[in-house]
Each structure stands twice: as structure tokens, then as C-alpha cells.
């Protein structure tokens, strides 16, 4: 049971990677660590317990089994919070996500089930438990902004609408998944050079959902709802890809919106490393620099680099490039 003075924080997908680093850093906050009751959300209970052991089994960190792609699991976790922790949360960090380079119908369904629909369901079940002046942090990604930039003007207009609704986002997501399944994604994202479209598209939808939820929830209990990009971090999600930064830095990006005074943040906005990001932006990352920074042999990845930055053209090149990358990595960066 939590006390009324404790700050109750739930971090989903926290048994490893960025979520695990978030909890480590919360424990390192000398002035606040003893006043935080932290729920370590993990899809697999055993892995969650192993993570707790790695943390040294602190008394104020408890494992909560939570599969964000399953409403049944979400409902059980909600009941557990009510029964064991007084039914109250101060901070909800939706960190759990899955990714893949492969853009198939099955992949699209799986990725959106966790990265978009799952977070919608988590928020639906847990928002009633958020205390006044609480916070909901949806961990999104800059690739979502890149994906939106590459969508048609009509779709961009819908996503950017100030009156956008959850139902409208659901419709856009349904169309996106259908386009992946029917191999007509070029009608939504013509001439895009991005890979891992299912992942990036799910993050476009999540960033938009954050804006809608901020409008819906800010009034009743003055809840702050923001999205945050942790950056391209070295985690299992991207198979510790070349040029990635330590997950601890991703955790810092998340904790900025957790700990910064609400007066210094804007409800519904998208942040990274303490700075507000646009909802849509062009893909400008210098992949060459990323690879060189990782001390990897550049020639080995020359083909994919040329492809991503547009030195070669066409769908055939893109998919050849994807196959080359898949020979070494299986995941995607946050």
C-alpha cells in the first residue's frame, strides 16, 4: 500500500533497456528516491523479477506483470494497483514497445497492437487512477515525425488538425495497416526513403494520440500528457545498432518531462532532451556519421547508407538494402 505522500510511478516495459534505466535513475535521485513507489512493468513476470534483482531488490520497487498488447493483462494489472497500492498513480510512463524492419500485414498488426492500441488501452484503464496534477508520458520516437513528413498532404492535414479525435486516428491507423497488407503503402507515403514503416507509423499515431489525450484529460484533474523521444539508443529493440547512444541518455530524456515543473512544459507536446520537437520533420540524420562514430567498417554498410540518404532510388533498392541490414540486425531504434 502506498502512502498519500509517496509518488507512485509505473514504468511499462521496464525489465530492460530504457525503461530499466529510468528506474535506475529514479532510485539515484537522492532527495526523492525514498519517496517514490516504483512499479516495474514487465510482460514476463520472471524477467521482471530478474530486473528487480539487478537493481538490488530495493523495497520501494515492485514488479507488476503487464502485457500492453493484451487488454486482459492490462485489466489484471489495474486491479492489482487498486488492491495493493491504493488505486493511485502519480506518473504513468508508457515505455513498452516492439519493432521490426519487416513491413508485413502480421508485423503491422503486432506493432500497432503494442505501440498504439496497447497504450490507448493502458491509458483508458489507468487514467481514472491518476491523481490530481499527475503525468502521463507516452514514449514515442522521432521516426514518427519523419514518417508524418513523408505522408500525403491530405493525411498530414488530418494528423495535424487541432480537432483531431481518437476515432479519426483509429481510422488513419486502420488505413495504414491495410496499405501495408495490400502493398499499397506508397499511396500513403509516396517516395519515402524510410525503413521500418510499421514502427514509424505507429509512433506517428502515438504522438498524435498524445495531443488528443492532453485535450481530453487536462481539465478534470489537471493531468499533464506529453510524448517524448528518448533518441536512438543502444537497446535490444534495435539490436544495439551502430551509432546509437547509451540508454541512460534516453532515460534522461524521459525523466526531463517527469521531473520538470509543469509550468515549464506544454500539455500535449513532443519532447527530446529537454527541447520541444515538431510533430512532423524531414529525415536528415547523417547515417555515415553514426556508423563512423560506432567504429564499424563503413564499406560494410555503404549500400544501406546510400539508400537511406537517397543516393540510390527505387523500391527494389530499398528492399535490397533492408535485406542487407537484416543480415546484421533484427530491430529498430526508438
Catalytic positions, please? Answer: 199
Query: What's the rounded Cα separation, in Å, for the pair 182 and 302?
Result: 31
Please spell the DSSP secondary structure of 143-188, one letter per residue.
HHHHHHHTS-HHHHHHHH-TT--HHHHHHHHHHHHHHHHTT-GGGT
- Which helix (H) or strand (E) segment holds residue 159: the answer is helix 153-160
The DSSP 8-state label assigned to residue 194 in this structure reads -
- Maximum pairwise Cα distance, the chain: 59
Of the candidates 265, 260, 269, 262, the one whose C-alpha atom is nearest the C-alpha of residue 207 is: 269
* Separation of CA 230 from chain center: 8
Query: What's the rounded Cα separation, in Å, for the pair 77 and 82?
Result: 9
Q: Name residue, grid cell 547512444.
A: 245
CA-to-CA separations, 187 to 81, 105, 112, 179, 323, in angstroms, rounded: 44, 16, 19, 8, 23
- Which helix (H) or strand (E) segment holds residue 51: the answer is helix 45-54
Cα dihedral sign for 63, 68, 72, 77?
Answer: positive
> Residue 284: which residues within 8 A CB-CB, separation 6 or more?
none
Amino acid at each position: 500500500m502506498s502512502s498519500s505522500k509517496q509518488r507512485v510511478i509505473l514504468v511499462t516495459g521496464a525489465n530492460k533497456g530504457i525503461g530499466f534505466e529510468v528506474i535506475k535513475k529514479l532510485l539515484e535521485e537522492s532527495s526523492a528516491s525514498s519517496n517514490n513507489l516504483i512499479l516495474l512493468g514487465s510482460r514476463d513476470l520472471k524477467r521482471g523479477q530478474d530486473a528487480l534483482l539487478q537493481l538490488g531488490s530495493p523495497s520501494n520497487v515492485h514488479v507488476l506483470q503487464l502485457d500492453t498488447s493484451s487488454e486482459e493483462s492490462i485489466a489484471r494489472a489495474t486491479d492489482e494497483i487498486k488492491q495493493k497500492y491504493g488505486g493511485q498513480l502519480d506518473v504513468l510512463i508508457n515505455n513498452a514497445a516492439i519493432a521490426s524492419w519487416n513491413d508485413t500485414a502480421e508485423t503491422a498488426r503486432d506493432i500497432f497492437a503494442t505501440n498504439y492500441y496497447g497504450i490507448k488501452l493502458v491509458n483508458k484503464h489507468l487514467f481514472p487512477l491518476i491523481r490530481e496534477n499527475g503525468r502521463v508520458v507516452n514514449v514515442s520516437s522521432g521516426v514518427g515525425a519523419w514518417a508524418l513528413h513523408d505522408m500525403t498532404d491530405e493525411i498530414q492535414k488530418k494528423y495535424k488538425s487541432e480537432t483531431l479525435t481518437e476515432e479519426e486516428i483509429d481510422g488513419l491507423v486502420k488505413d495504414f495497416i491495410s496499405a501495408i497488407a495490400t502493398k499499397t503503402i506508397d499511396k500513403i507515403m509516396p517516395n519515402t526513403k524510410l525503413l521500418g514503416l510499421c514502427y514509424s507509423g505507429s509512433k506517428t499515431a502515438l504522438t498524435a494520440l498524445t495531443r488528443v489525450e492532453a485535450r481530453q484529460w487536462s481539465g478534470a484533474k489537471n493531468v499533464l500528457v506529453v510524448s517524448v523521444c528518448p533518441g536512438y539508443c543502444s537497446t535490444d529493440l534495435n539490436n544495439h545498432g551502430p551509432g546509437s547512444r547509451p540508454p541512460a541518455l534516453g532515460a534522461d530524456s524521459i525523466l526531463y518531462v517527469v521531473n520538470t515543473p509543469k509550468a515549464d512544459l506544454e500539455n500535449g507536446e513532443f519532447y527530446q532532451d529537454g527541447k520541444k520537437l515538431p510533430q512532423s520533420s524531414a529525415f536528415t540524420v547523417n547515417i555515415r556519421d553514426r556508423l563512423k562514430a560506432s567504429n564499424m567498417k563503413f564499406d560494410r554498410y555503404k549500400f544501406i547508407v546510400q539508400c537511406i540518404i537517397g543516393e540510390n532510388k527505387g523500391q527494389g533498392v530499398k528492399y535490397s538494402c533492408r535485406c542487407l541490414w537484416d543480415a546484421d540486425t533484427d530491430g529498430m531504434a526508438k
